[in-house]
Amino acid sequence: LVAVYTKVPAEDLNAFLARYGVGEARSFKGISEGVENSNYLLSTTTGRFILTLYEKRVEAGDLPFFLALMEHAAARGVPTARPVADREGRALQTLCGRPAALIRFLDGVSVSAPTPAQAAAAGEALGRFHAATADFAQTRPNALGPDGWAALAARIGDGADRIAPGLTALIASELAALASAWPADLPRGTIHADLFPDNVLFVGDKVSGLIDFYFACTDIRAYDLAVMLTAWSFEGPMDRHRPETAAALVGGYRRAHALSAAEEAALPLLARGSCLRFLLTRAWDWLNTPADALVTRKDPMAFARRFAHFRDAT
């Protein structure tokens, strides 16, 4: 499922920690949080932290945006992973030749089959995140918006038919349909852009943490809720739609942030875009990951199946 790429020797860790006021290492374990970066769970004499070394899949130039965003949201009470600054006020460091950051540990467990109550809590947490970042001044383009989809589809070419016959044509028709219909006038803001159940920690039915901000960007705000509809409201190998979970996501969001009639009406279309985004990146990874690699390839076809639901609704 997962890989830690960079091994941090204890000696380097101790030199790194000396920059901070967080005490000395008590334990230090590589963890499998995401495949893009190397992550360690660190316990010190003063608390628990995640130490992240950013590997090449994350652009180093984007890191100040991500870290500032996490700090901004956490400072406003959103339960987000919070970077720790060293004694000189810097959150972004270098360790073992890689950009690195120390982030406060959040309790909680992600769920693979969220209940409607958990979906409502997660939707509300997204609304709180949007409210808290209304005054976040930094911006970052969405590399995986409509332009990015077209570029990725071109790189995949007809390779998609090796995953499933007809997939190339399905991608082309969705790209064309979304290019002409994609809304231009919906409110924009800072979005998480990848709020799958993997990225929400719960203690019981309460959200204890939003994590993995490394796709965050500036884009149509309601698209973030559409990503959640795509990711949370289907179940089982046939991706059966669960309307009560979808309603809970939207209802929960509304408890924390307004959603205009125009935004709500656009959700099925935005969700089609979200299906295409995850279909394309998974298809690319599928075609470029050896079948015998230790990383589990995620099935791109889940999002082809979910297309149909949202297309019928638009």
- The minimum distance between CB 50 and its own copies, in angstroms, equals 9
Query: Given the complex with its own copies, which of 27 and 260 has the nearer CB atom?
Result: 27
- The minimum distance between CB 39 and its own copies, in angstroms, equals 9
- The minimum distance between CB 31 and its own copies, in angstroms, equals 4
- The minimum distance between CB 183 and its own copies, in angstroms, equals 36
Angstrom distance (rounded) from CA 113 to CA 110 = 9
Angstrom distance (rounded) from CA 52 to CA 71 = 15
Query: Given the complex with its own copies, which of 140 and 242 has the nearer CB atom?
Result: 242
Angstrom distance (rounded) from CA 100 to CA 184 = 37
Q: State both tokens at 244.
A: 């009560």
Phi/psi-derived region of residue 280, left when phi > 0, alpha when psi is between -120 and 50, beta in every other case: alpha
Rounded (10°) angle between helices 221-232 and 116-132: 160
User: At which residue do the structure tokens 């995620």 appear?
Assistant: 298
Query: Given the complex with its own copies, which of 29 and 155 has the nearer CB atom?
Result: 29
What's the half-sphere exposure (Cβ side, CA atoms, 13 Å) at 164? 16
Q: Residues interacting with its own copies, by CB under 8 A?
A: 1-7, 9-11, 13, 25-33, 41, 43, 105-113, 201-203, 290, 292-296
Beta bridge partners of residue 30, listed in sequence order: 40
Count of C-beta atoms within a 10 Å radius of residue 152: 20
Query: Given the complex with its own copies, which of 203 and 308 has the nearer CB atom?
Result: 203
- The minimum distance between CB 46 and its own copies, in angstroms, equals 14
- The minimum distance between CB 2 and its own copies, in angstroms, equals 5
Query: Given the complex with its own copies, which of 169 and 203 has the nearer CB atom?
Result: 203
Contact residues for 94 (Cβ-Cβ < 8 A; gap 6+): 100
Query: Given the complex with its own copies, which of 25 and 101 has the nearer CB atom?
Result: 25
